[in-house]
Amino acid sequence: MARGRLRVLLGAAPGVGKTYAMLEEGRRLRDEGRDVVVAVVETHGRAHTAAMVEGLEVVPRRAVRHREVELTELDVDAVLARRPDVALVDELAHTNAPGLARTKRWQDVDALLDAGIDVLSTVNIQHIESLNDVVEKITGVVQRETIPDAVLRAADQVEVVDLAPQALRDRLAGGYVYPAERVDAALSNYFRLGNLTALRELALLWLADEVDAALRLYRTEHGIDSPWEARERVVVTLTGGPEGETLIRRGARIAARSAGGQLLAVHVTRQDGLRGAAPGALAHQRALVEQLGGTYHQVVGDDVPRALVDFATAVDATQLVIGVSRRGWLATALSGPGIGATVTREAGKIDVHVVNHAAAGGRPRLPRVGGALTRRRRVAGFALALVGGPLLTWLLVATRSTDAFVADVLAYQLLVVVTALVGGLWPAVYAAVLSGLTIDFLFVDPLHTVTVSEPSHALALVLYVVIAVLVSVVVDRAARTTRAAHRAAAESELLATVAGSVLRGQDAVAALVGRAREAFGMTAARLVVGGPPGGPPHGGGDPGGTVLASDGEVPPGEPGTTVPVDERAVLQLYGPDVAASERRLLNVIAVQLRAALERSDLASVASEVDHLTASDRVRSALLSALSHDLRRPLSAATAAVGGLRTAGSRLSPSDRAELLDTADESLRALATLMTDLLDVSRLDAGVLAFARTHVDTADVVLPALDELGLGPDEVELDLDLAVPPVLADPVLLQRVVVNLLANATRHAPPGTRVRVATSTFAGAVQIRVVDHGPGIPRERRDDVFVPFQRLGDTDNATGLGLGLALSKGFVTGMGGTLMPEDTPGGGLTMVVALPSAGTDDPADATRGTAA
């Protein structure tokens, strides 16, 4: 049975119209004659979405009872029994109720696909596992329901349901997404314009990368080598010379002309050839590339033009930017076409931009003749011997004279030396033997024989061959020495790049793995921690441990090269076999990886030291606060009691009552301060117990108003009676609300009222305390939650500066968040968000938990 096809509608945020589009497509497929059923759909009370369900067959959901609450989930067995052509399954990342056969809804969808049923589903960008932390940084909301990237990438079709951020906010304000009571909180939280713009960009970029990967796979499967210009990719070639900055800026301008253009800079570290990079030039050029939004790459190759073209082809480059040769006309004439001309000839359909620069056309100089002996050089040497020998023989025979024997021998000797310079040892030996036989046959009596009548002639021929071999050996050794020197320079450059990656900090491990893959021309590389010492048992399969960093797609079933990093980690490389000469360099990279891992461990230790330093600062602030803020109520109470003791009989009843009130007020203030100090110490030690139970927010807000003696003239209430209870400690939650109300009323302008509102958002219940006072600058908002921080308050009635610190700790300990926001029109809004009672275990009502 053929597996069904999965089609996913991807949205940037709730409310963009994914479910509506899914139902609309289901109706279209039904009208075309397909058997379509609604397996599960979440309308969230939206009338337009519910109207789209009408006319479509709906498979009844399965009822599941969990913790005294009845939930409804997708009934997979009922859909399988119905066996439609297409099933509409909403919210692919949904987590099923406990007790069902599968934990996640995408696992239910997989079962439908295995049965040959096509599935049309929906998912939001914040639910993609690899983007979960990015979305949390953007929105400040933790997404607990995620879907693995591999599941979404395995879909047969992924489409973005796009809606402009402002249009989505307009829909939200019009009541098309959430009920009216939730609109205000949604617009000022998750659905901010900046948040929606960033989420939209994430969704579009994710889909663009997916399309790019699919295009690469298609081209690989169909053997298509020529570039497809779906996106401009500009590769800039860097030699380390002074022209690099000019080339980078030109490439950046080319990439910027097209939307989504990419800039890549590549430097080929070669084992032969000429290159004179100024110290630090490549490092400066790399920084410039990254500043312009590009990426820097370094590869090792003997044939520089071929390595450049191969790299450009591998990254699907559409433009290749190279500089005009810095060699003069004489060097070009003597040594043939340079790198630029060769790249232009071999680039195929890749557009090549040859950019002029100030360093082009240097001073005339002879080309160097040394270098590593490639196969091309050896073939050229043999060709020179085969062609040059007959031509020289013809010339000497045509101009032959009886007394020119020495000149003839020296001419052949010159041919042998030139052959040695071009091709090395074996072409030179071949030329020496061939020319020796030629001299004996044509120029030594008796002619036209290979016999020698004069012993001195025979000795001369032997010495001739020996000299030719010695010259060839010297040339060959010089070439090998030059090869080793260039190899060492190439390794030094690569190691400098690797060391620089380590110094860059947080991404050092990933950078090292990526550089190792590029430098050795591997298909993929990954660093595995905690796996078996020999690597994965089946090549590209399960790594057998945790993949700490990877670069490239690991080919399935291909055995890889394993390089131990330390006792806990190994570097796995997939691609061509690593030569024995390169093993030393691999070991050096492994040492750098070990250093990067140790640096990460040291960073963890340093963070703990920073925590201890922060604790010391808190203790210093505590001592300062105790010496000042506790002295006032203690002195007042002592003075009142002392006055009663010394002059009690002489005091009038009103004076005695006033002193008693002063003592009582001071002692109560002292008790409150001590309670706050104890709670701070317990929070810091993690031993403050929270007895969480189901709490109605109104039962907390109203007693807080009574405690502070606030009435309708000071506070405006906007309590939503439909909000569910929260799971919290009622006593500590009331202290939080009291602290927030006290701060708000103290900073509210005269004649204005503080507003207290409750609402629900994203499965949480929010208590919002709104004032229209001076507010707090964004850069100082984190400071308000630091103990003993009063942000400039100098009056003795403001306490120790522990109120917001305690409130933050209490709310966090109860599983919620406390965040400051701007009040529209000026002021500060403190938002307490707590989980509703239906999202956690009611058994916590009788169980204490420690923060």
Q: According to the 3-state scheme, what is the secondary structure of 48-91?
A: HHHHHHCCCEECCCEEEEECCEEEEECCHHHHHHHCCCEEEECC
CA angle 546, 547, 548 (to 5 degrees): 105
Residue 851 has pLDDT above 50, yes or no: no
56 and 102 part of one domain: yes
Q: Each residue of 86-124: pLDDT tens digit?
A: 999 999 989 888 888 888 999 999 999 999 999 999 999
d(CA 441, CA 384): 21
Final residue in a domain of this structure, among 355, 389, 421: 355
257 and 208 part of one domain: no
393 and 299 part of one domain: no
Residue 850 has pLDDT above 50, yes or no: no
Mean of all residue pLDDT scores within the chain: 76
d(CA 745, CA 739): 10
711 and 830 part of one domain: yes
Q: Is residue 589 part of a domain?
A: yes
Q: Is residue 487 part of a domain?
A: no
666 and 699 part of one domain: no
Final residue in a domain of this structure, among 479, 505, 539: 479
pLDDT band at 501 (very low <50, low <70, confident <90, very high): low
- pLDDT at residue 421, as a whole number: 78
624 and 643 part of one domain: no
d(CA 686, CA 680): 10
Residue 842 has pLDDT above 60, yes or no: no
547 and 424 part of one domain: no
With beta carbons less than 8 A apart as the criterion, state whether 804 and 739 touch.
Answer: yes
Q: Each residue of 659-699: pLDDT tens digit?
A: 788 878 777 767 766 665 565 555 555 545 566 788 898 88
Per the structure block, which two tokens stand in for 396?
A: 């000497």
Structural domain boundaries, residue 275: 233-355
266 and 313 part of one domain: yes
3-state secondary structure of 758: strand
Looking at residues 634-660, what average pLDDT do you find?
77
Total H helices, total E strands in the chain: 25, 26
Number of domains the chain is built from? 6
CA-nearest of 165, 161, 163, 125 to 145 is: 125
Q: What is the value of pTM for the model shown?
A: 0.39
With beta carbons less than 8 A apart as the criterion, state whether 377 and 423 touch.
Answer: yes
14 and 126 part of one domain: yes
Question: Which residues contact residue 669 at a Cβ distance below 8 angstroms, ignoring those fewer than 6 apart?
Answer: 633
Q: Each residue of 194-245: pLDDT tens digit?
A: 888 888 888 887 776 666 555 555 555 555 555 555 567 889 988 877 788 8
CATH number, residue 820: 3.30.565.10
pLDDT band at 83 (very low <50, low <70, confident <90, very high): very high
CA angle 799, 736, 688 (to 5 degrees): 90
CA distances from 659 to 83, 632, 635, 651, 671 (A): 85, 15, 13, 10, 18
238 and 196 part of one domain: no
198 and 174 part of one domain: yes
296: phi then psi, degrees, rounded to nearest 5:
-110, 140
d(CA 592, CA 512): 8
- pLDDT at residue 583, as a whole number: 67
Which DSSP category does 32 fall into?
A: T
Residue 271 has pLDDT above 70, yes or no: no
Largest interatomic CA distance in the chain: 154
